[in-house]
Amino acid sequence: MGHLKAVVFDVDGTLADSERDGHRVAFNQAFADAGLPDRWDVDAYGGLLAVTGGQQRLRTYLASRGYDAEAATRLADDLHRAKTGLFREMVVDGRIPLRPGVRRLVDELCLAGVRLFVATTGSRQWVEPLLHHHFGAATFELTLTGSEVSRLKPDPAVYLEVLGRAVLQPPGVVAVEDSANGLAAAQAAGLSCLVVTNGYTAEDDLQSADLVVDGFGPAAKRIAGGCAPLPGGSVTASTLAALV
């Protein structure tokens, strides 16, 4: 077991239970407010999550609906701006919960003196208030979002930027993700990676992860990976330390 120096968390679907009853709802409200008939049900939205980044997701969807590239880009930009504002309201109102066990794990890591970071493709407009609402201003040493990098996951750009700004080398650093795209980004940056699946990512190909579980606990189940401990069925600092 190595020395755990830092943990870098993804946000959507990892720290927060934000996709199905958060982003999807805001996208649908943006469609409705624009007078469009489009609505994404739970299953349809799950399929669209293969495309990272809400703006890119909208462009891909609109292109599949017959919009030319220029029209798809223009409409996607307008819809995404509206959706981000709607989702931010949900965040500020406290309607986007943390996943069970996240608060406990983050508190434990803080007490152990582990440096904590966030690397997400989400926009700063809603990521910052979400983190502040649940954790306050001082929990994460650095938060980098899709607003600061031009290449989104599975590209490792956001992880490499975190490592560079924090003056960290990959050994001793663990990424916590929820999906195949996030896993690919973390591994391309040279990081060990814990994947905590959710309802949308349980069928992703995650076999290359250092550890895959179905929740932070209690009663988390090991899906794939090595023999890192899960005390009491929970992801703990000792779980993450076993991955470095």
Active site residues: 10, 12
Q: In what order do the strands lie in the sheet with 115-119?
A: 142-144, 115-119, 6-9, 173-177, 192-196, 211-213, 222-225
Q: What are phi and psi of 223, to 5 degrees?
A: -100, -40
Conformational region of residue 190, where left means phi above 0, alpha means psi within -120 to 50, and beta covers everything else: left
Burial of 211 (0-12, 13-18, 19+ CB in 10 A): buried
With residue 176 as reference, give the H or E element that holds it: strand 173-177
Q: Any idea which residue has 């959710």 for tokens?
A: 198
Based on its alpha-carbon atoms, the radius of gyration of the chain, rounded to whole angstroms, reads 18
Residue-level length of the chain: 244
Instruction: Tell me which amino acid residue 91 is.
Output: V
Rounded to the nearest 10°, the torsion over CA 113, 119, 122, 125 is 50
Rounded to whole angstroms, the Cα distance separating 145 from 36 reads 29
Q: Is 96 exposed, middle or buried (0-12, 13-18, 19+ CB in 10 A)?
A: buried
Upper half-sphere CA count for residue 210 (Cβ side, 13 Å): 20
